[in-house]
Amino acid sequence: MDKKELLTRFSSRLIAIERRAILTKDCYASEIKRFLAFLEAHDISLENASGDNLSSYISMRRNKEEIDPRSVSKAVSALRSFFRFAMDEKLVKSNPAELLEIPKRKARLPEVMDKNAIEELLDLIETENPAGRRDRCLFELIYSAGLRVSEASGLNLMDVDIEGGIAKVRGKGNKERIVLFGKEAGDELKQYISFTRPILAGKTEKSHALFLNRNGKRLSRKGIWKNYAKHALKAGTSSHIHTLRHSFATGLLEGGADLRTVQELLGHADISTTQIYTHVNTAVLRENHRRFLPKLNMAGAGKGLT
């Protein structure tokens, strides 16, 4: 089996059997392509690849290419998955990747913005042109429904029920779920679909995509990231569009939503992923405690409290 066929069959397995997301499949395939080139450069056959060889590869990626712990974790996961595939295909007799350790990463609290900051960012978007009107609608929807960028990019016209305030999205692992959005996002969608999208689509509409670029094609994830970063820079706020999703989740919890509801709306497979937002709320409480406790102490001191 040559390298090209090997990568093709591995990619197919990731989608069909392991049910990985398209982005994960692309990431793993790219990593394994790099790994096979490493073996070839060191005159090592796949069958004879050892745990030490894999460790050397990871060390090379970490030290020479200076990848961060998150990328190291992805590389290890890709190798583990690939060697499971290689064993099933009878290409190797054992899985040397089982001995690789995934580096521990420090838990980082998601960055969030309050509603006022988000509204200010949205209000600064110039909506006199089609691209600006589209972006206003897009970012309002991402925030209102807590969408991932890939989910927003993948939306089609038929996926959205404006009157019902619901949309069908395809999340990680190509799993479908129903999300809800508010009246403001609905109003923006009506405006965009009725007036702006036809301009972007041009005379001969071919795409079923909801959000289009200036060429009438589906707006890509990279396009969304780039456009958001431009508007965020102007607003002087976070340039990471995922902040909108984080803010959506945190806002729900602060409003009294239970963790299971937030998990369902976000499309998290494991509730432990959702639980990080409870730590965000705790961080907010700590900050408010630090800011306001001195005032409370001063007020209490006048009443003889200790």
Provide the annotated active-site residues: 148, 172, 242, 245, 268, 277
DSSP tag of 195: I
Residue 118, φ and ψ in degrees, nearest 5:
-70, -45
b/e sequence 102-122, b meaning 16+ C-beta within 10 Å: eeeeeeeebebbeeebbeebb
In order of 69, 72, 95, 291, the CA distances from 103 in angstroms are 6, 7, 19, 36
**Which tokens in the block code for residue 290?**
């630090």
Gap between the Cα atoms of 40 and 34, Å rounded: 10
Residue 305, φ and ψ in degrees, nearest 5:
-80, 155
